[in-house]
Structure 1
Amino acid sequence: MSDPSPTPYDVTLCVEELRAALALHGIKLPSLSVHLPSFAARYGESAGLVTLGNCNMATARALAGVLKKAAGEG
């Protein structure tokens, strides 16, 4: 389930979780980060996007979960 309005800190934790899950498979993505402009929107709730195809936190967490499970960590 995605957070209704994640904070930059929430998304940073999510990015670190995804980075750790990718590392379990020997994958490093130097460009993986918080998409800060997604917090600047004034027309709705903050999206809190992760710059991996600009996926949202729910997608990033699902991906991290699958990667951890595949590595026997989850």
Structure 2
Amino acid sequence: MQQLKEVETVTTELREALARAGVVLPSLRPDPVSIAHRYMPPLVELGRCSMEVARQLADALAERSRGERA
């Protein structure tokens, strides 16, 4: 149960961080298969996205990387 709460929390944190960067991943969610598995840790499903969203994500990461080097 603790891991379920953790994966939900980290999914929300990631969704909010991406939104601040102007990126929305519509399929972002806890992975139900891994949650149901007894021995596998829960995963976050990033899902599929359009090329536009992929570019936005790449740009946000590149901007972050440039900011860290400055």
Instruction: Normalising by structure 2, report the TM-score.
Output: 0.58
For 2:34 and 2:27, the matched residues in 1 are separated by 16
For 1:19 and 1:13, the matched residues in 2 are separated by 10
Gaps of 5+ in 2: 48-60
Gaps of 5+ in 1: 1-5, 54-66
Q: Which has the larger share of strand?
A: 2
Residue 11 of structure 1 pairs with residue 7 of structure 2 = yes
Q: Which has the larger share of helix?
A: 2
For 1:52 and 1:28, the matched residues in 2 are separated by 10
CA RMSD, 1 decimal = 2.4
* Higher Rg of the two aligned structures: 2
**Aligned counterpart in structure 1 of residue 23 of structure 2, from 2, 24, 27:** 27
Instruction: Normalising by structure 1, report the TM-score.
Output: 0.55
Greater relative contact order structure (CA < 8 Å, 6+ sep): 1
Q: How many residues align?
A: 50
